[in-house]
A and B are shown apart, each in its own frame.
Chain A
């Protein structure tokens, strides 16, 4: 850290630092009405972190409820099935709709995407603010649903149960519907921005790979989310008026609901993971000081993941009465997803090969990502294989698999990204030692929590069950202890970051020696991002020795 700090200050880009986007105007109102993508990004960051804490609390409660087969704590019985059903549903709903989907696009991408393009803002700044407020409305609705007593359907809202249960499904569906529009407008904004607001001289293949990842994400947000919207509307109407589209008692089809749901929600897992991959493609070359290996391959793999994501939804219904032919086709298509994912992983590894690697906190998170996402990706192949899928469907294997991709992938990349861009966003450096401790604790806690779930799943422990056989007791206990380690890890990380706001040393414009455009302006940037319109001088990730052209 020390050497990079001096490197940044030496480049002498600090004289303008009195006025920046954080202190140009002050007061709550100036934030609430801002159309500055950087401030909206910060508001999103705060909001999704609060959601993460809420969802995490529910996760801890779920794990605590499963600590032992008697569901006791210090000998006292404290939780029943009903409560447990609500815990895991709320954990899922909050984490999926309030945290993961908006996390990276809303906060980090909102902040850095225009900066990376050399633009002054996103294409539609007011729409951007509206996305944020839609998120807030969705969150308020969702949380009031929780306060009224919650939902017990699971985050997937499968019919017929979701159409008949007496819990507060409608209001939570309404929340998810509104959050969907927030997501659509964010995606729409980013696509228009990438098309029209690139800096002079920046062609498509001069863009940082982060942009490619976010662009691919935006494609999915636009194409998939509307289908979820109409599905949720139909479900709300079904629930309240019994129109018989999903209700088999009056002619409907509950599996149709599953198809509609996964037509969105399978692409949605790529809405979740692609931004994580996008962050990886920034962190890895920066901390290896090496040109990224296979730029075009990574760019194309992002787009092909986005397109493939629409062709595999049927693998969620392998045991729901889908025809054999459909099963075989969906199985084959699902295997294809491994290709672009593998392309990315091998390109990051090749970038690291013979690189000048340093292990600052963001790089540790990137390494965590590589380990955890690879495990998550490879264990997904078990589900693409029809025969093993039958055995593993709806077991803890699924739970472990998607936590390795969603949390081990996206959430880890998100925290890596926060550490990576923290100096740019806040103008402060955090304590590197505590950052590293947090990253390592996350890795340990995560594996303790979820590796044990792979073992349980393989042995047949069904997901979402409250009661379990004594033979699973040790693994459940390990998993719960792991969840506590994770909680400590995130607490350490949060305290370290917050402490830096007050005690952290001032960050230079480019503390990591990054090559993309966001590092060419002050930390934190001025309101209009750049003092002069930046012009593309060299391709991204160019770490070859060169003459210093800017002073």
Chain B
């Protein structure tokens, strides 16, 4: 699976890889072997990410089944416009990420750095909007578990509302953590790209962080309808 993906990502093929003397680690025979291996490693790591979030998605599903009316009512408290804006921001950042990888692969260091910084900017916007939403929840008392103290619910005293917000904060919080980690990685790459460390032979870190970033986006693509749209 991963070999074919790597081939797609690397249409230039062997001739570019073998004639340039970029060093590879001693236990690999070629740059290409090293690149493919790194790629497999990253895909496996992404699998673990999916499963980490998977547990939370399953838990959410079970609790939604237990408290269907509370969950519908609770989701009305979420700010749909903020969520939709964040979705657009992350989609744009995915695009700039791809352009960054392309620029790295085509030896355009400055352009690569620029695209990476734009991606970091998108991450920052996302986190700002998220902070605004969290503040609103905090002020309304829409908080997890024991801390929930919102008034005026249709089913007073039901634990469904607080459970909804337990999952909301766990899942969006864990996702937000990933956005921040991604942003730090991207900034580090942008600095390295500016120094001209990436080229058509060696751009593995950009490619791998790119994969990670797309996964972070994709998780949000699932979180957004789950929390903001589904009735």
A-side residues, CB < 8 A to B, are: 119-125, 127, 184, 187-189, 191-192, 195-197, 222-227, 229-231, 234, 237-238, 241-245, 247, 250-253, 256, 260, 263, 528
Contacts of A231 in B (CB 8 A): 55
In the A-B complex, the 8 residue pairs with the closest CB atoms: A251-B159, A244-B145, A243-B145, A242-B146, A120-B27, A226-B51, A121-B27, A226-B52
Contacts of A223 in B (CB 8 A): 47-48, 51
Contacts of A192 in B (CB 8 A): 37, 40-41, 44
**Alpha-carbon separation in the docked complex, A119 to B33 (Å):** 13
Question: Please, what's the 1-or-0 string for B201-223, where 1 marks a CB less than 8 Å from any CB in chain A?
Answer: 00000000000000000000000
| Residue B162 at the chain A interface, CB threshold 8 Å | yes
**Alpha-carbon separation in the docked complex, A222 to B51 (Å):** 9
User: Are B62 and A125 interface neighbours, CB within 8 A?
Assistant: no
| Most A CB within 10 A of own CB, among B49, B54, B145, B159 | B145
User: Are A244 and B163 interface neighbours, CB within 8 A?
Assistant: yes
What are 13 A-B residue pairs whose CB atoms fall within 8 Å in the complex? A119-B27, A125-B25, A184-B48, A195-B2, A196-B37, A226-B51, A241-B145, A243-B170, A244-B144, A244-B163, A245-B167, A260-B55, A260-B59
Q: Summarize A's interface: helix, strand, loop or mixed.
A: helix
User: Are B145 and A242 interface neighbours, CB within 8 A?
Assistant: yes
User: Are B163 and A252 interface neighbours, CB within 8 A?
Assistant: yes
Known: A224-B51, A226-B52, A250-B146. 11 other contacts (CB 8 A): A120-B26, A121-B27, A192-B44, A195-B2, A222-B48, A223-B47, A230-B55, A230-B56, A250-B159, A251-B145, A251-B159
> Within B141-176, which residues are at the interface with A (CB < 8 Å)?
144-147, 158-160, 162-163, 166-167, 169-170
CB of A539 to closest CB in B, whole Å: 23
Q: Which of chain B's residues has its CB closest to A37's CB?
A: B27
CB of B229 to closest CB in A, whole Å: 23
Q: Which of chain B's residues has its CB closest to A246's CB?
A: B59
Partner of A237, one of B41, B44, B54, B170: B170
Given contacts A121-B27, A188-B45, A196-B40, contact A251 B55 (CB under 8 A): no
User: Are B44 and A251 interface neighbours, CB within 8 A?
Assistant: no
**Alpha-carbon separation in the docked complex, A5 to B73 (Å):** 77
Contacts of B28 in A (CB 8 A): 197
**Alpha-carbon separation in the docked complex, A124 to B144 (Å):** 40
User: Are B33 and A250 interface neighbours, CB within 8 A?
Assistant: no
Q: Which of chain A's residues has its CB closest to B50's CB?
A: A226
CB of A281 to closest CB in B, whole Å: 24
Contacts of A188 in B (CB 8 A): 41, 44-45, 48
**Alpha-carbon separation in the docked complex, A245 to B66 (Å):** 12
B-side residues, CB < 8 A to A, are: 2, 25-28, 33, 36-38, 40-41, 44-45, 47-49, 51-56, 59, 62-63, 66-67, 144-147, 158-160, 162-163, 166-167, 169-170
Partner of B162, one of A189, A250, A263: A250
Given contacts A225-B48, A230-B52, contact A197 B166 (CB under 8 A): no
CB of A341 to closest CB in B, whole Å: 25
Contacts of A122 in B (CB 8 A): 27
Contacts of B56 in A (CB 8 A): 230
User: Are A222 and B27 interface neighbours, CB within 8 A?
Assistant: no
User: Are A196 and B33 interface neighbours, CB within 8 A?
Assistant: yes
Contacts of B54 in A (CB 8 A): 226-227
CB of B209 to closest CB in A, whole Å: 16
Contacts of B47 in A (CB 8 A): 222-223
Contacts of B145 in A (CB 8 A): 238, 241-245, 247, 250-252
Contacts of A197 in B (CB 8 A): 27-28, 37
CB of B65 to closest CB in A, whole Å: 11
Contacts of B25 in A (CB 8 A): 125
Q: Which of chain B's residues has its CB closest to A244's CB?
A: B145
User: Are B51 and A227 interface neighbours, CB within 8 A?
Assistant: yes
Q: Which of chain B's residues has its CB closest to A126's CB?
A: B25
CB of B222 to closest CB in A, whole Å: 15
Q: Which of chain B's residues has its CB closest to A221's CB?
A: B48
**Alpha-carbon separation in the docked complex, A241 to B148 (Å):** 12
CB of A423 to closest CB in B, whole Å: 24
Partner of A229, one of B52, B63, B160, B162: B52
Partner of B59, one of A120, A195, A226, A245: A245
User: Are A234 and B170 interface neighbours, CB within 8 A?
Assistant: yes
Contacts of A260 in B (CB 8 A): 55, 59
Contacts of B37 in A (CB 8 A): 123-124, 192, 195-197
**Alpha-carbon separation in the docked complex, A120 to B26 (Å):** 8
User: Are A241 and B40 interface neighbours, CB within 8 A?
Assistant: no
User: Are A256 and B27 interface neighbours, CB within 8 A?
Assistant: no
Contacts of A222 in B (CB 8 A): 44, 47-48
Partner of A241, one of B53, B144, B163: B144
User: Are A528 and B162 interface neighbours, CB within 8 A?
Assistant: no
CB of A313 to closest CB in B, whole Å: 12
**Alpha-carbon separation in the docked complex, A139 to B45 (Å):** 23
**Alpha-carbon separation in the docked complex, A251 to B144 (Å):** 11
Given contacts A192-B37, A222-B48, contact A245 B55 (CB under 8 A): no
Given contacts A251-B159, A260-B55, contact A226 B49 (CB under 8 A): yes
Contacts of B67 in A (CB 8 A): 251
User: Are A226 and B160 interface neighbours, CB within 8 A?
Assistant: no
Contacts of B27 in A (CB 8 A): 119-123, 125, 197
Q: Which of chain A's residues has its CB closest to B54's CB?
A: A227
Q: Which of chain B's residues has its CB closest to A224's CB?
A: B51
Contacts of B162 in A (CB 8 A): 244, 250-251
User: Are A244 and B41 interface neighbours, CB within 8 A?
Assistant: no
**Alpha-carbon separation in the docked complex, A244 to B145 (Å):** 5
CB of A294 to closest CB in B, whole Å: 28
Contacts of B41 in A (CB 8 A): 123-124, 127, 188-189, 192
Q: Which of chain A's residues has its CB closest to B56's CB?
A: A230
CB of B154 to closest CB in A, whole Å: 16
CB of A157 to closest CB in B, whole Å: 15
**Alpha-carbon separation in the docked complex, A189 to B44 (Å):** 9
CB of A391 to closest CB in B, whole Å: 30
CB of B165 to closest CB in A, whole Å: 9
Contacts of A252 in B (CB 8 A): 145, 159, 163, 166
**Alpha-carbon separation in the docked complex, A82 to B147 (Å):** 33
CB of A314 to closest CB in B, whole Å: 14
User: Are A245 and B48 interface neighbours, CB within 8 A?
Assistant: no
Q: Which of chain A's residues has its CB closest to B44's CB?
A: A188
Contacts of A226 in B (CB 8 A): 48-49, 51-52, 54-55
Given contacts A195-B2, A250-B159, contact A256 B26 (CB under 8 A): no
Contacts of A229 in B (CB 8 A): 52
**Alpha-carbon separation in the docked complex, A231 to B56 (Å):** 9
Partner of B146, one of A127, A244, A528: A244
Q: Which of chain A's residues has its CB closest to B49's CB?
A: A226
User: Are A227 and B52 interface neighbours, CB within 8 A?
Assistant: yes
User: Are A244 and B166 interface neighbours, CB within 8 A?
Assistant: yes
